[in-house]
A and B are shown apart, each in its own frame.
Chain A
Amino acid sequence: MLLPAFALHQPTSVDGAVALAARLAPDFDWVAGGTDLLPNYKQRLNARPHVVSLARVAELRDLSTSRIGALVRLRDLERDPAIRATFPALADAASQIASTTLRESGTVGGNLCLDNRCYYFNQSELWRDAKGGCLKVAGPICLVVPTQKENICWAAYSGDLAPVLQVLGASVGIAGPDGRRTVPLVEFFQPDGIRRNVLARGELLTHVEIPETAKAYRAGYRKLRQRDTIDFPILGVAAAVHLEGDTVRDVRVSLTAVDTIPVWIDLADERDKRMSLAWIERIAARVLERVQPVKNVSLRPGYRRKMAAVLTRRLLVALTT
């Protein structure tokens, strides 16, 4: 399968990239590692005539425990001694993405902005045509839920880093024609499978900020997939707890691959509770109640839902003992 023809642009600064984007919008895509975009382009999934590579923008490569540039490669994040010591959950989640080879190319920004995935979307043109088209590629309806009232795309968000960064309380930096801003990661993602996040065309995710307060939390990530390598998550659960003795001062849970965006579980009323198995069961029950996977990736939705509770329970047990 051939890549479609496109013009490649290689700016060397964020300002230069943003200026270029303003000129090219909306007919362009950003590319970092290319592990997501290029396969999609080969399948003619919304390919555009211009591609702006961020590979030469040095300022996107910061890596510290408080600031992670969008162009930091997943392999570097996973192996960084400071990250491993301070936020092992983040290094662990990174190490479970795709394969070693792909992580040598794939980036933090790319994983956060990963395009949503679906049986009906990640297919060839012939395949999609045979089905009458997919909503996410200018088709008439979403084939996952063809009978829904409001016609929205149900492709699954499948990034592994987002839920972990969310439970660490991270924010993301955004640069665009209107300047720079910072958005909490829990507000970054926006339903549905087409809209995906708050980035306006021409805007760029520059970095992730992890607050100092995150260091008070114990965090973890559990990924469900059929093989212990290469697969996208069919479910991922991240959790963070702030413990004082056996009192849980705060608990955060976020899930990936079960909806069009990461699913943040509102647990405000579970703060300042005594840690107990009953408390863990209540949170697992909340997850079960909140999560409603649809049939868009492998393994049955009912199973994935059940596993969301099982993995949450296991993760919280591990974090609190």
Chain B
Amino acid sequence: MKEPRSPASGFNIVGKRTPLVDALPKAAGTAVYVDDIKLPGMLVARVLRSPHAHARIRAIDTSKAEALPGVRAVVTGAEAPTKFGVLPLSKDETAMAVDRARFVGHEVAAVAADDEEIADAALRLIAVDYEVLPAFVEPEQAVKPVPPEHKIHDYTKFPDNTHRLVQHAFGDLDGAFRSAAATADGRFKMAGLSHAFTEPHAVLAHFEPTGRLTVWSCQQVPHYLHRALAEVLGMPMHRIRVIKPTVGGGFGGKSDPFPHEILVAMLSRKCGRPVKLRLDREEVYFVHRGRHPTKTKLAIAADADGKLTGMDLDVVIDGGAFGSFGIISSYYNGVLSQAPYRFETFRYNGRRVYTNKPPSGAMRGHGAVNTRFALETLLDELAEKLGLDPVELRRRNLIPPNSTTINGFRITSNGIAQCIDECTRRSGWAERRGKLPYGRGLGIGCGFYISGSALPIHWTKLPQSTVHLKIDMDGGITLHTGASEIGQGSDTMAAQMVAEVLGVPIDMVRVVAVDTDLSPVDLGSYSSRVTFMNGNAAIEAASKIRDKLGRAAEILLAQRTKYGVPREYLDFADGWIYARTNPELRVSYMEALTLALENNGALVAKGVYQSPPLEVATHKGAAAGLSPTYSFSAYVADVEVDPDTGYVRVHKIWAAHDCGRSLNPIAVEGQIEGSIHMGLGQALMEELRFNKGQPLEPNLLDYRTLSAKQMPEVEVIVVETNDPEGPFGAKEVGEGPLAPVIPAVANAIYDAVGVRLRELPMTPDRVLEAIDQKRDKPALAHAAE
């Protein structure tokens, strides 16, 4: 082991570029995904899906399929009518359609067979008697009253297909608009998106003779799947084990409990054999849960000093056929729109509607991305009307650290001002914006995001995160966590926290993540909560171990030195425990451990995280968006627009993000670059197009994510504010960095060619149409030309 560092050198591993602990197995091809797991006697499942967007199921005849040699089980919705859903407030899903198919691709029946060919053949033998119903595919249709028997879901209180209405109002909005020196408003339309993760969903279920069920699934939230399986299958939770192997990306798309996970368990229970289902890419588009398409009406007002006085927001959110995370989306589209700015008045009307399309759900930047595009675009327009630089308008309205938003969010650490300073300085904003030749432009976009939802989905007082540690005589530290590694780096983060506290190399920590028999409950990988919550839990657990080792080291140092060293004066680094004041006085980690284990056995410890009480406001939905802390970002985009073709090329993004403290710069940069890649996809080309409710491009050739060739240079600027409650000061970086890039590009397009896009994605045909319209109306010409 290396000599102990001087105490002044700071952290052991926090802030160091640390390769992700699962990177090598993934690169070498040895990581095990669900589809790599093979069990003896394993069967293959296939799903029969509805060819109708909306239909009553009068009867299903599975007898011919059951009679086909090689078919071991067939299940239909009638066998499991218990409703489930990720949110207890909108449990509207079943394992398969019970009496109503609600979108093209809706699960209707499933087969387990010896191989895929037989399973496919069996699906063709299932006869379904459908009565086709009127399909509601556009949100405009969904808000018209319909006869109760045609409603997509009959449990709602509305006479139409509205799922949820949210109405918030703070302050005298009308007064603010009446007395405004300038206002800006617009109607925006944002397309729905697919997460386009690499690994299609796969699930393996094994109902064993003992009556225990094991389910392997690529899940961001195994805990919710655990609950849903128990509920729908009518089994106690202790008889169900959920295991999450390596996951090939999620981005929100693997955070619901899914019908296909439950129906595979049903098949296995029915035939007593392991059953595996892997979806093909088209089915991923049916399972969906991607970004909600939204139609947004926004108006903002400012006084003569450029102080923002009002924000009036109206959003129609196209939910597709089920609730999923939709109630949260309905709130987030409003409540995550204001910061990093202070608005004196605010009104929000959000309406999520059911339509006969694959269900929308949570996706990276959940609820915050689309409204952000609208707001940041209008801020630019407002600045122009006020004769202010867009950056200056933003600077005048920033919400300060340690303050409260009008809707009751507690803001603590906040580096937005530094973010704006850094990205504008490095991009040469003052010298270049508005002064570049026609076709080239700079634009700015800011944003903020929750660092974990303070309010758990299930109203329990269980900790939101728990970490168990165990150290035996080999010295290795086993870290049990329910946090779900989905490629974002949570295993590495948790290992880093423990390695930091105990001063050992990270390879001494082995992470056992998400096996409900072995791991404590964690609420999963969504809402950018894992680093903050699981990281704090890991630190707490490691600190308890550190106390035990410190006590042992104290005893050893007392035996070996004249005066001994009290354990409050001990530091842990590089495998040594030493006196902070005199590094020569030291014992090795292994020595201390050996003593600590004597007559005691393995060291075990537990750490938990529970967010502090944050609710100060009392209006309905006040808890939505509450978070122990928030991340902040400001981006500048440099783009080039071809005025003859409408093609947009993004040359560079300066991305400044306040993540509290950068625990691992490699992971922080990766999240920011990945967010920008995803955000540029939404900005420029990603769009779920539908034809009568049917996804028109359910494949990765036609549904276009940004290619590597179009990825611009990204200059990541990490702004560290050292959050008072974050693990070593850290907060989120997984989702917040997505939203700002879209308006930054839109505002840069304006700087380049003088047109404002109101629709996402900003495809070449839309950009060119805007340019052509402006050519036809020279009166509206860009001031800079």
Binding site for B on A (CB under 8 A): 1-2, 5, 119, 122-124, 126-127, 129-131, 224, 226-232, 298-300, 302-303, 306-307, 310, 314
Contacts and interface: CB of A to CB of B under 8 A. Distances in A.
A127 B698 contact: yes
Interface in B85-128: 104-105, 116-117, 120
A235 to B, nearest CB: 10
B701 A231 contact: yes
Given A124-B282, A228-B707, A299 B763 contact: yes
A119 B695 CA distance: 10
A130 B52 contact: yes
A266 B764 CA distance: 29
Contacts of B709: 227-229
Contacts of B769: 303
Contacts of A300: 765
A139 B42 CA distance: 37
B362 to A, nearest CB: 26
A2 B764 contact: no
A299 B704 contact: no
Contacts of B704: 226-227, 231, 298
B710 A227 contact: yes
Contact of B49 (A126, A224, A232, A307): A126
B156 interface: no
Contacts of B116: 2
Contacts of A298: 689, 697, 702, 704
B685 A226 contact: yes
A226 B703 CA distance: 11
Contact of B104 (A119, A130, A299, A303): A130
A41 B116 CA distance: 16
Interface in B749-778: 763-765, 768-769
B645 interface: yes
B644 A310 contact: yes
B271 interface: no
Contacts of B120: 2
Interface in B700-749: 701-702, 704, 706-710
A130 B101 CA distance: 13
Interface string B589-608: 00000000000000000000
A226 B51 contact: no
A125 to B, nearest CB: 9
B460 interface: no
Nearest to B124: A125
A226 B280 contact: no
A248 B116 CA distance: 61
B466 interface: no
B282 A303 contact: no
Contact of A129 (B51, B117, B764): B51
Contacts of B694: 127, 130-131
B165 interface: no
17 contacts: A2-B120, A119-B697, A123-B698, A126-B105, A127-B698, A129-B51, A130-B694, A224-B645, A227-B710, A229-B707, A229-B708, A231-B704, A298-B697, A298-B704, A299-B764, A303-B764, A303-B768
Given A131-B694, A298-B697, A126 B51 contact: yes
Nearest to B689: A298
Contacts of A123: 282, 698
A228 B702 CA distance: 14
Interface of B: 49, 51-52, 104-105, 116-117, 120, 280, 282, 644-646, 685, 689, 691, 694, 696-698, 701-702, 704, 706-710, 763-765, 768-769
Nearest to B706: A227
A29 to B, nearest CB: 20
A2 B117 contact: yes
A230 B701 contact: yes
Contacts of A2: 116-117, 120
Given A230-B707, A303-B765, 5 more contacts: A124-B282, A227-B709, A302-B765, A303-B764, A314-B644
Contact of A226 (B104, B117, B644, B763): B763
A227 B686 CA distance: 11
User: Do most interface residues of chain B lie in helix, strand or loop, or is the interface mixed?
Assistant: loop
B707 A299 contact: no
A231 B707 CA distance: 10
**Which 9 A-B residue pairs are closest in the complex by CB-CB distance?**
A303-B765, A130-B51, A227-B707, A228-B709, A130-B104, A229-B707, A300-B765, A1-B280, A299-B765
A130 B692 CA distance: 10
A2 to B, nearest CB: 5
A230 B705 CA distance: 11
A303 B704 CA distance: 18
A232 B646 CA distance: 19
A149 to B, nearest CB: 23
Contacts of B282: 123-124, 126-127
Contacts of B117: 2, 5
Contacts of B280: 1
A182 to B, nearest CB: 34
A234 to B, nearest CB: 10
Contacts of B49: 126
B711 to A, nearest CB: 11
A146 to B, nearest CB: 12
Nearest to B105: A126
Contacts of B706: 227
Contacts of B708: 229
Contacts of A228: 707, 709-710
A227 B698 contact: no
Contacts of A232: 701
Contacts of B698: 123-124, 127
Contacts of A314: 644
Specify which of A124, A130, A300 lies most central, judged by the most chain B CB atoms within 10 Å of its CB.
A130
A129 B105 CA distance: 11
Contacts of B701: 230-232
B422 to A, nearest CB: 30
Contacts of A303: 646, 764-765, 768-769
Nearest to A224: B645
A1 B764 CA distance: 33
Contacts of A224: 645
A119 B691 contact: yes
A307 to B, nearest CB: 6
A130 B128 CA distance: 14
Nearest to B696: A119
A122 to B, nearest CB: 8
Nearest to B695: A127
Contacts of B51: 126, 129-130
A226 B709 CA distance: 11
Contacts of A302: 765
Nearest to A227: B707
A299 B769 CA distance: 12
Contacts of B702: 119, 122, 298
A35 to B, nearest CB: 12
Nearest to A313: B644
A126 B698 CA distance: 12
A227 B765 CA distance: 14
Contacts of B710: 227-228
Contacts of A299: 763-765
A219 to B, nearest CB: 21
A300 B772 CA distance: 15
Contacts of A231: 701, 704
Nearest to B685: A226
Nearest to A310: B644
A230 B282 CA distance: 19
A129 B124 CA distance: 12
A118 to B, nearest CB: 11
B640 to A, nearest CB: 14
Contacts of B764: 226, 299, 303
Contacts of A230: 701, 707
B204 to A, nearest CB: 19
Nearest to A119: B696
Nearest to B705: A227
